Structure 1
Amino acid sequence: MLYPLKFKPILKEKIWGGDKLKSKSKVDFSQKRIGESWEISGINGAISIVQNGVLAGQTLSQLISEFKTELVGKAVFEKFNSEFPILIKFIEAQDNLSVQLHPSDTLAKKRHNSFGKTEMWYITEAEPNAELIVGFKEPITFDRYKESLSKGELEDVLNKIKVEEGEVFFIKPGLVHAIGAGVTLAEIQQTSDVTYRLYDWLRVDKEGHSRELHTELALEAIDFQVNSDYKIEYDSIFNSKVSLVDSPYFKTNFLEINRRIFLDYSSVDSFVIYLNVGTQTAELIHNENSFMLSPMETILLPACIKTIELKSSGTKLLEISI
């Protein structure tokens, strides 16, 4: 009964969002400044709903309950049971996101009964001179950090880097970071919505309120050292998988295709997710059925499906599994 599954995007209004993700809504265009499109989510209050085929209208949680290992894989089900282990998003920053970080599994479990958040970014668009903030310019002490925060000088110690389309970044727990204005990206992360906000550019919402900061909560979680392993270097090879991230939380490959290719997952004990991060449509073929994957669309291949074909005249995909 299972087949490649598409889910209804869950659009999130954000003070820093823009207009590019609005096109993902087929119904509601009333939302302003869409910052995030949650493509596949198992987070309470934002559970993804199937939008294609005979299972349309079913939630991701219902599918896991009914199909178990057939949907997610034996090892994944044994480890996570009814929890879906990753959250897939597209993010558009029309303005700077807050400077923030995420706690580790240990700290998140202790404080929030949640997973921590390890994540990766694939830059789909970047306006000229668009930037990310990733870590500090140089190692700083706890006292120097608190001083810069109290004096409103945090920007002075943060590491800012210019970014371009196609670049990949791996954001570990504790790493201070922010997505800058003019950046659109795909994000793969652990199933967690725990974020510690350090600085929000003195912004206020439409009611004139500043967003909550988590200054004290963040202190125990921050990595004060300089990290140089956040950027993933890779070379694209047409019609061949290129590994981007191989972590305990998720595995991500890059796949640029310009013809029809065959993929065998007989040795993979996991679901597989495809994100189309290119500019052309891809076609996924299974049991002589065709599933079209437009740019900025996402599809989940259940673990019980072991062979498929992909076809495109030229697009870029992210392939994610556990």
Structure 2
Amino acid sequence: MDPLIFTPLLKRLVWGGRRLGELLGKRLGDHDDYAESWEIVDHGDDQSVVASGPLAGKSLRQLLDEFPRELLGRDAALAAEGFPLLLKYLDCHRVLSVQVHPDDEYASRMPVPDKGKTEAWYVLDAGPDSRIYAGLRPGVDAEQLATAVAEGSCQELLHAITPRVGECYFIPAGTVHALGEGLVVAEIQQSSDTTFRLFDWNRVDAQGRSRDLHVAEALAVTDFARGPVTAQTPVADTDGLQTLVRCHAFELRAAHWGASGESAASGHTLPIGTPVRLGGDNRMRLITVACGRVTIRQSEASKDDRPSITLGIGDSAILPAATGPISAESESGPTTLLVAQLP
């Protein structure tokens, strides 16, 4: 099975803008509120559809039904539950609401059961005044948070960070968080769309109406033992990649080519043209290009004989388990390739 490229699903929301098109090359309409590009998803009616090739037109759900072992390999037993991960890009033209996601146990008991939502962000762009709000300040308890929400001062209890391009932030289920104005991020998460909105910055629409909050549910799932969140420290691996996150739901890794503080905020980069090997171990992977351009090829033939696929910034693909070993490389830098896989 060849690498699979899908047509993105674009989501318009009140906090979105135009940078999914301007920065990532997504095909936008005339509106100015494009907030999310769902790159790879199998969640209810939200379905990625193969863009080209012999499987063009098939949804990710159909692929799981027809080719569970070819797609997921060692994790084929998970196919009956749906594709386990969701990959998206977000354009935070305005600050997002303060929110929190449930864990698997809580989500399974909801009237419409879902997966929990643990996620990680990789920062592609940030303005000088951009902020990430992640975690509560030390010592904040449920009573203090509920009071602050009622008084419209929730922001005073949030841990605020000034993020840099190339940083990664890990947001386990139960972590109170919000993405601030001016950010563009890639997000890998469990395949879930359950969000409890805790605070919306006292915003109202043109008719003076505020968005619905889910305060009771948010307080019930918040992990008050988890304090402030900081950027992940990348761990250099022997295969040329870095591990950014390793958790119960996914692993997120990165390959950086070329010396650039923006594409690799901390450390190890590969020389341009140096290939990294992915796959060949009966595991499925998601890949997306966060900076530059990456060419992928089958690893088992000579370079001149191997068909190749070039992915630009914002382009994503699934490398099915049955694809076998893949060579990925950048021919000009700086370049960053994000790689997500099941643990």
Provide the TM-score with structure 2 as the length reference: 0.87
**1:262-312 CA distances to partner (integer Å, 9 max, x unpaired)?**
515233x3211111011x211111261111100111111111112112221
What stretches of structure 1 of length at least 5 have no aligned partner? none
In structure 2, distance between residues paired with 1:304 and 1:11: 29
Letter in 2 for 1:276: V
Q: 1:299 matched to which residue of 2?
A: 317
The 5 Å alignment of 1:162-311 reads 162-205=162-205, 208-228=208-228, 230-234=230-234, 240-257=240-257, 258-267=272-281, 269-278=282-291, 280-286=292-298, 288-311=306-329
Q: 1:109 matched to which residue of 2?
A: 108
Q: 1:41 matched to which residue of 2?
A: 41
Alignment length (residue pairs): 317
Letter in 1 for 2:85: I
Q: 2:337 matched to which residue of 1?
A: 317
**1:85-127 CA distances to partner (integer Å, 9 max, x unpaired)?**
0000000101100000000100000113110000000000011
User: In 2 relative to 1, CA 15–48 (structure 1 residues): closer, same or farther, beyond 3 Å?
Assistant: same
Letter in 1 for 2:296: L
How far 1:30 moved relative to its partner?
3.2
SS at match of 2:322: coil
The answer to whether the 8 A contact 1:137-1:226 is kept is no
In structure 2, distance between residues paired with 1:205 and 1:56: 41
How far 1:227 moved relative to its partner?
2.3
In structure 1, distance between residues paired with 2:216 and 2:250: 30
SS at match of 1:87: strand
Tell me the percent identity: 32
User: In 2 relative to 1, CA 238–186 (structure 1 residues): closer, same or farther, beyond 3 Å?
Assistant: farther
The answer to whether the 8 A contact 1:61-1:82 is kept is no
In structure 1, distance between residues paired with 2:311 and 2:207: 40
User: In 2 relative to 1, CA 301–226 (structure 1 residues): closer, same or farther, beyond 3 Å?
Assistant: closer
The answer to whether the 8 A contact 2:138-2:228 is kept is no
Q: 2:266 matched to which residue of 1?
A: none
Segments of 4+ in structure 1 off by > 4 A?
A: 235-239
What stretches of structure 2 of length at least 5 have no aligned partner? 258-271
The answer to whether the 8 A contact 1:238-1:255 is kept is no
How far 1:199 moved relative to its partner?
0.7
User: In 2 relative to 1, CA 205–25 (structure 1 residues): closer, same or farther, beyond 3 Å?
Assistant: farther
In structure 2, distance between residues paired with 1:226 and 1:191: 23
How far 1:148 moved relative to its partner?
1.4
SS at match of 1:70: helix
**1:185-218 CA distances to partner (integer Å, 9 max, x unpaired)?**
0000000000000111122345553211001111
In structure 1, distance between residues paired with 2:138 and 2:4: 45
In structure 1, distance between residues paired with 2:278 and 2:167: 27
Letter in 2 for 1:171: I
